[in-house]
Amino acid sequence: MSKFVELNNLGAFEGLLKESDRHPILLFKHSLTCSISSWAYKDLAVLDGPVMMVVVQNARALSNEIASRTGIKHESPQAIVLRNGRPVWSGSHGKVTAAAVTQALQENK
């Protein structure tokens, strides 16, 4: 089962960018008030390994900075796979599924 790890500061995100040099990183932007985001959260919970999560209501500035640095317009729910310090896959709303994320992680090992 996946382990959700909540990010709430820029330093943590910068650490993820560096870590993505070693392996792909899954970043999940989650909204506490969106039913689609709740569905995506439940679907991603079955993944093996960590899911780095930004709860947008708790870390709006970080969410905006991620959008700025990755060039990916903010949406929620949203999943971004980072590799070598850059985004290599992203999906939002109904595209945030365990199957899609698993495939993106496998393709970017």
Q: Cα–Cα–Cα angle for 86, 87, 90, nearest 5°? A: 175
CB 80 within 8 Å of CB 27: yes
Going across the sheet that includes 49-55, the strands are 2-6, 49-55, 25-30, 78-83, 86-92
Residues in the chain: 109
Q: What is the pLDDT of residue 36?
A: 96
CATH superfamily to which 2-107 belongs: Glutaredoxin (3.40.30.10)
The domain limits of the chain are: 2-107
Q: What is the pLDDT of residue 17?
A: 96
In degrees and rounded to multiples of 5, residue 27 shows phi and psi of -115, 125
- Residues (pLDDT < 50) of the chain are none
Tokens representing 42 are 């439940």
What is the reported pTM? Answer: 0.95
Q: What is the pLDDT of residue 1?
A: 61
